Amino acid sequence: MNRRHALLLPAAMLAAPRLLAAQPAWAPSRPVVLVVPFAPGGPNDLVARLVAPHMQAALGQNVVVENRPGATGAIGARHVAGSPPDGHTLLVAASGTMTINPAVMARPGYDPEKDFAPVSLAMTVPNMLLVHKDVPARTVPEVIDWLKREDGKVNYSSGGVGSTEQLGMELFLHATGTRATHVPFPGGAPAVTAMIQGQCQASILNAATVRPHVVSGALRGIAICLPRRFAALPDIPTMAEAGYPQVISASWSAFLAAAGTPAPAVARLNETVVAALRQAEVTERLTAAGFTVDASSAAELGQTISTELARWKQVVRDAGIQMN
């Protein structure tokens, strides 16, 4: 290297960051598909359809919602995991798809930590410990004492084997040294009905779903299974306030791409999804439905998946839960 080149090299090195910074952000070259692994009408479908128009305006490409239901979200998840890692196909996943299926299914067909690139946690709704109105308990300690007196005679309902409700209740029972009998139902709605009718006496169920029945007095809310209180029922304390911070149970929705998606594409998708979730009309619709809008970073979503996956795998082992 001659002296002239040596003198020019530092200037070139200083200019390089500016040249890199001047490069345009990643943009899709064809329509972006939001794969919802459930039938139309549910929470994941709702958030996908609310976000899609704002993503489309920001990215300059059509953004379409495609429903691929089946196997509690596993079919859609497998599809996205096997799609080209180029940012054009995103999974609008549920917490159960990412952190419970892999814990309870022998062969889910995907690895939530290896096969996906997290984009953003979209929204969360907590589960809540509640009892039938005739149960003689109003606080977590009183519920624990009552469960111990009944010694396994209490029934609890859930939306099915391996559901967030079942795993949340099993986590509570293990943490408190109590017993109850699981009665699974084909979905959250009949699980709530069983509680109202008294077929089941205590359960951990979706707080937004049971809210009208808590307000009416048919069911009694005991504790929210998240560290923060539920805005729609602000008078109900949390499990942490009752001394059981480890009892965390909630449902959430999130956006993920296929593993290997370039970092600039993930960054741009995160920016676009977060901006869409923070649009006033989107936030208002989701809040009215009982959700808390998260609009997180990609790293925060990745940590959420890892933490919850480890928690539910332990609960499944402790409770001996099995699915085909």
CATH of the domain at 219: 3.40.190.10
Q: What is the pTM of this model?
A: 0.88
Say how many domains are in the chain: 2
Is residue 139 situated within a structural domain? Answer: yes
What integer is the mean pLDDT of 184-198?
93
At residue 252, the 3 state secondary structure works out as strand
Could you tell me the maximum CA-CA distance found in the chain, to the nearest angstrom? Answer: 90
Dump pLDDT digits (tens) for 143-179.
999 999 999 999 999 998 889 999 999 999 999 999 9
Q: Do 121 and 181 sit in the same domain of this protein? A: no
Q: Which tokens is 163 given?
A: 């559901």
Is the CB of residue 160 less than 8 Å from the CB of residue 135? no
CATH of the domain at 114: 3.40.190.150
Residue that is last in its domain, among 208, 224, 240:
224
* Burial (CB count within 10 angstroms: exposed 0-12, middle 13-18, buried 19+), residue 149: exposed
Is residue 275 situated within a structural domain? Answer: yes
Is residue 10 situated within a structural domain? Answer: no
Rounded Cα gap, residues 183 and 191, in angstroms: 8
Residue 68 has pLDDT above 90, yes or no: yes
DSSP-H helix ranges across the chain: 3-21, 43-59, 74-81, 95, 101-104, 140-150, 164-176, 188-197, 207-216, 263-277, 280-288, 298-319
Residue 305 has pLDDT above 70, yes or no: yes
Residue 232 has pLDDT above 60, yes or no: yes
Q: Do 185 and 255 sit in the same domain of this protein? A: no
List the one residue out of 31, 30, 47, 11 whose CA is nearest residue 253: 47
Q: Do 81 and 162 sit in the same domain of this protein? A: no
What integer is the mean pLDDT of 13-37?
74
Residue 213 has pLDDT above 90, yes or no: yes
Dump pLDDT digits (tens) for 259-295.
999 999 999 999 999 999 999 999 999 999 999 999 9
Q: Do 256 and 113 sit in the same domain of this protein? A: yes
Residue 141 has pLDDT above 80, yes or no: yes
Q: Do 113 and 142 sit in the same domain of this protein? A: no
What's the confidence (pLDDT) of residue 187? 86
What's the confidence (pLDDT) of residue 322? 75
Is residue 237 situated within a structural domain? Answer: no
State the residue range of the domain holding 175.
Answer: 126-224
Dump pLDDT digits (tens) for 238-268.
999 999 999 999 999 999 999 999 999 999 9
Rounded Cα gap, residues 294 and 297, in angstroms: 9
Strands 89-94 and 250-258: antiparallel
